[in-house]
């Protein structure tokens, strides 16, 4: 799932629920030879994959070792050829995390993304695994083998989520320090990928990808011209390329969700003159993120939790948690809150024979709630069933959600293909992007945990894991951008202007559990002329919360013309939780 994320629940559920690419068994990335140019190989189902070599260190691109990264790229070709009049170029996308795989995003959501941008023009949609992440190499895995990584995660789980007790905080802090130190020393003296994973480096990679795309289109033109200048399509390509040359430098078209909005904002702030179109959905406030302030994220979380119970009450018999005697949604909420409190007070012994024995506490329910708050349309019903069962004393679904059940075979091939180091990759990005907090004392972290707990009783304790993981992170990035997050006014005729060619389009859902609407307004202030489109759905990003033909219409028009929706535009979702809408549900992004 795309994210700012399920990150927290992934931290807690650990890498036991590993990210496994759909259809990954059909494609082996090590069979592609990394190249300095974009050379594509067919992959997955109708995608094209490439491994692009780029310098490891952009501040010193030709160091003595010529050290490189190989960026894994996947694209869904446009519905028309590059020589067609309606070809709109490439839209680059990033799913968030940080740490999420762009390749997996393309496998799961490439067609949905294309349907968002394709209107009068047809676009190629492209994503990539940022450096250190999944299919890009080298990988930011702190452990030499999966068993070590697993054992580390099991210890983490044993400590429990931060609960405000000083004794637990001491242990957790010491563990975070040990982990940060271990990761910093993992490469044994060699230059570490973790020093080069901050968003500044990723934005610079994205600029290089834009240039490589332009270079390969020019090369295709040269080839087509050589093969017969009389060819109609070659002439059209030539015209297209000349106009591109007049534009002097290739420009980015971008759609970013969640952490992907921070990547977009960074790119726009660093290279404003290289932006053609930019849509950011589910906003992270740059200044807060680099300050390691993860509190304002939770401004609307309680509304999303309430919405779960309210919409369940309204759905009545369609919601498994509803009882005929319920007079209001709050009685449903009270039942669940009581279950959580009971499990906190009296953890349940699970003498599981299908896998190891374990305990269930209130934390397991909090963790189970996290992902559904991101994607209500997709996951509310499953959450209601899980909670209903738990209230009846059946914990089967909750146990499955924890990832503890089932016997593990650490040698299996599917295991070898799994993305087990997402948590570590994510830390390298977000802790490196943030200021150094390794000198903060226990009182600081205690107050931080309390502040987030006050903001959301349901997920504050989970969310604090995100900044807390940085408390012991030792590695500092060589290249870091921490602001200002601003750009000059756009210039539609932009040639050498150093200005974006369109203003920024920002999308937000009404209530977002981790990137609230007010964050979109804050980001807009740094970018004159930008505008927020409000999609009146609940969940993380307009994109994940619900499909909306209305939103798509404005996004397509913006992509095509650079025109923003009118000030104050609001879009209704096409479907809401508990409604059947099978057509919309069949194509939900995840
Ligand atoms: C991928 O290919 C490489 C080289 O041929 C091989 O060593 C590796 O085992 C393959 N990986 C998987 C998961 O099949
Ligand atoms: C060194 O890096 C440059 C690009 O920075 C590349 O063109 C060149 O081929 C590299 N050399 C080797 C030996 O890999
Ligand atoms: C518990 O729930 C699971 C999953 O819904 C179901 O398969 C199982 O039959 C239930 N067990 C009992 C004893 O009802
Ligand atoms: C959290 O709430 C409690 C109780 O209302 C209050 O005493 C405490 O000061 C708050 N802590 C922070 C850090 O906001």
Indicate whether 354 pLDDT > 80.
Answer: no
Counting from 1 in the atom list of ligand 2, the atom nearest the Cα of 55 is 5
pTM over 0.85: yes
Q: In the predicted model, what is the mean pLDDT of the chain?
A: 90
Residue from 352, 392, 394 to probe ligand 3 pocket by mutation (most atoms less than 8 Å from CB): 394
The secondary structure of residue 19, as a DSSP letter, is: B
C-alpha span between 470 and 342 (Å, rounded): 31
Q: Are the CB atoms for 5 and 97 separated by under 8 Å? A: yes
User: Which carries the bigger pLDDT value, residue 275 or residue 17?
Assistant: 275
State the ligand closest to the CA atom of 455.
4
Pocket lining: 243 vs ligand 1, CB cutoff 6 Å: no
What is the average pLDDT across 217-229? 79
Q: Are the CB atoms for 272 and 499 separated by under 8 Å? A: yes
C-alpha span between 156 and 257 (Å, rounded): 29
State the ligand closest to the CA atom of 36.
2
For residue 524, CA distances in Å to 194, 279, 530, 533 come to 31, 12, 6, 11
Q: What is the pLDDT of residues 171-213, one digit of tens each?
A: 999 999 999 999 998 877 666 999 999 999 999 999 999 999 9
Residues flanking ligand 3, CB < 6 Å = 389, 394, 396-397
List, in sequence order, every beta strand (DSSP E) within 77-137: 87-94, 122-129
Query: Which of 17-26, 110-119, 131-140, 313-322 is predicted with the least confidence, judged by mean pLDDT?
Result: 17-26
CA-nearest residue for atom 4, ligand 4, is 454
Q: Are the CB atoms for 470 and 431 separated by under 8 Å? A: yes
Indicate whether 57 pLDDT > 60.
Answer: yes
CA of 385 to the centre of ligand 3 (A): 11
Indicate whether 142 pLDDT > 70.
Answer: yes
Pocket lining: 446 vs ligand 4, CB cutoff 6 Å: no
CA-nearest residue for atom 6, ligand 1, is 30
Pocket lining: 454 vs ligand 4, CB cutoff 6 Å: yes
C-alpha span between 312 and 505 (Å, rounded): 33
Counting from 1 in the atom list of ligand 1, the atom nearest the Cα of 29 is 1
Based on the number of CB atoms within 10 Å of its own CB, is 226 exposed (0-12), middle (13-18) or buried (19 or more)? exposed
**Geometric angle at alpha carbon 420, from 453 and 263, rounded to 5°:** 65
CA-nearest residue for atom 7, ligand 2, is 36
CA of 396 to the centre of ligand 3 (A): 6
What is the average pLDDT across 326-332? 98
pLDDT of residue 20: 42
Query: Which of 233-247, 275-289, 346-360, 500-514 is predicted with the least confidence, judged by mean pLDDT?
Result: 233-247
CA-nearest residue for atom 11, ligand 2, is 66
C-alpha span between 256 and 252 (Å, rounded): 12
Pocket lining: 417 vs ligand 1, CB cutoff 6 Å: yes
pLDDT confidence band for 407 (50 / 70 / 90): low
Q: What is the pLDDT of residues 16-29, one digit of tens each?
A: 333 444 444 569 99
The tokens describing 53, both together, are 């070599």
CA of 45 to the centre of ligand 1 (A): 20
Q: In DSSP terms, which residues pair with 531 in a beta bridge?
A: 505
Based on the number of CB atoms within 10 Å of its own CB, is 113 exposed (0-12), middle (13-18) or buried (19 or more)? buried
CA of 118 to the centre of ligand 3 (A): 44
Whether the ω angle into residue 168 lies within 30 degrees of 0, i.e. cis, is no
What is the average pLDDT across 269-298? 97
pLDDT of residue 16: 32
**Geometric angle at alpha carbon 334, from 332 and 339, rounded to 5°:** 105
CA of 354 to the centre of ligand 3 (A): 15
Indicate whether 464 pLDDT > 60.
Answer: yes
């Amino acid at each position: 799932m795309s994210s700012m994320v399920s990150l927290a629940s992934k931290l807690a559920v650990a890498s036991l629920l590993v990210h496994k690419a759909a259809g990954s068994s059909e494609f082996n990335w090590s069979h592609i030879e990394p190249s300095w140019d974009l050379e594509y190989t067919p992959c997955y189902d109708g995608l094209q994959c490439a491994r692009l070599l780029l310098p490891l260190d952009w501040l010193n691109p030709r160091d003595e070792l010529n050290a490189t990264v190989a960026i894994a790229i996947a694209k869904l070709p446009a519905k028309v050829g590059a020589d067609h009049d309606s070809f709109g170029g490439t839209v680059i996308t990033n799913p968030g995390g940080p740490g999420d795989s762009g390749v997996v995003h393309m496998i799961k959501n490439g067609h949905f993304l294309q349907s968002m941008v394709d209107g009068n023009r047809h676009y190629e949609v492209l994503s990539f695994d940022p450096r250190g992440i999944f299919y890009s190499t080298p990988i930011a895995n702190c452990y030499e083998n999966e068993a070590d990584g697993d054992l580390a995660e099991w210890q983490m789980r044993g400590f429990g989520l931060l609960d405000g007790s000083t004794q637990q905080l001491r242990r957790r802090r010491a563990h975070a320090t040990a982990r940060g130190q271990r990761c910093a020393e993992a490469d044994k003296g060699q230059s570490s990928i973790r020093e080069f994973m901050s968003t500044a480096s990723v934005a610079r990679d994205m600029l290089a990808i834009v240039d490589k795309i332009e270079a390969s289109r020019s090369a295709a033109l040269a080839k087509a011209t050589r093969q017969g200048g009389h060819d109609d399509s070659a002439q059209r390509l030539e015209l297209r390329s000349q106009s591109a040359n007049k534009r002097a430098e290739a420009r980015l078209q971008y759609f970013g969700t969640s952490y992907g909005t921070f990547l977009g904002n960074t790119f726009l702030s660093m290279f404003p003159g290289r932006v053609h179109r930019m849509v950011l959905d589910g906003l992270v406030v740059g200044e807060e993120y680099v300050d390691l302030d993860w509190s304002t994220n939770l401004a609307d979380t309680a509304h999303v939790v309430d919405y779960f119970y309210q919409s369940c009450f309204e759905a009545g018999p369609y919601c498994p948690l509803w009882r005929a005697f319920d007079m209001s949604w709050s009685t449903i909420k009270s039942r669940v809150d009581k279950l959580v409190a009971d499990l906190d007070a009296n953890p349940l012994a699970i003498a599981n024979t299908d896998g190891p024995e374990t305990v269930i506490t209130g934390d397991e329910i909090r963790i189970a709630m996290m992902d559904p708050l991101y994607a209500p349309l997709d996951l509310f019903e499953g959450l209601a069933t899980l909670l209903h069962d738990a209230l009846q004393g059946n914990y089967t679904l909750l146990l499955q959600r924890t990832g503890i059940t089932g016997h593990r075979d650490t040698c299996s091939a599917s295991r070898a293909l799994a993305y087990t180091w997402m948590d570590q990759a994510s830390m390298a990005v977000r802790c490196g992007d943030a200021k150094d907090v390794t000198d903060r004392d226990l009182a600081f972290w205690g107050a931080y945990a309390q502040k987030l707990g006050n903001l959301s009783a349901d997920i504050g304790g989970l969310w604090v894991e995100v900044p807390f993981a940085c408390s012991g992170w030792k590695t500092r990035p060589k290249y870091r951008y921490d602001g200002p997050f601003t750009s000059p006014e756009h210039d539609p005729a932009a040639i050498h202007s150093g200005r974006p060619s369109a203003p920024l389009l920002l999308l937000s859902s009404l209530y977002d559990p981790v990137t609230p609407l007010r964050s979109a307004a804050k980001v807009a202030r740094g970018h004159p002329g930008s505008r927020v489109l409000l999609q009146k759905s609940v969940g993380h990003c307009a994109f994940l919360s619900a499909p909306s033909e209305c939103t798509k219409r404005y996004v397509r028009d913006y992509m095509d013309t650079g025109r923003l929706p009118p000030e104050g535009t609001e879009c209704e979702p096409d479907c809401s939780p508990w409604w059947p809408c099978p057509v919309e549900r069949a194509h939900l992004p995840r």
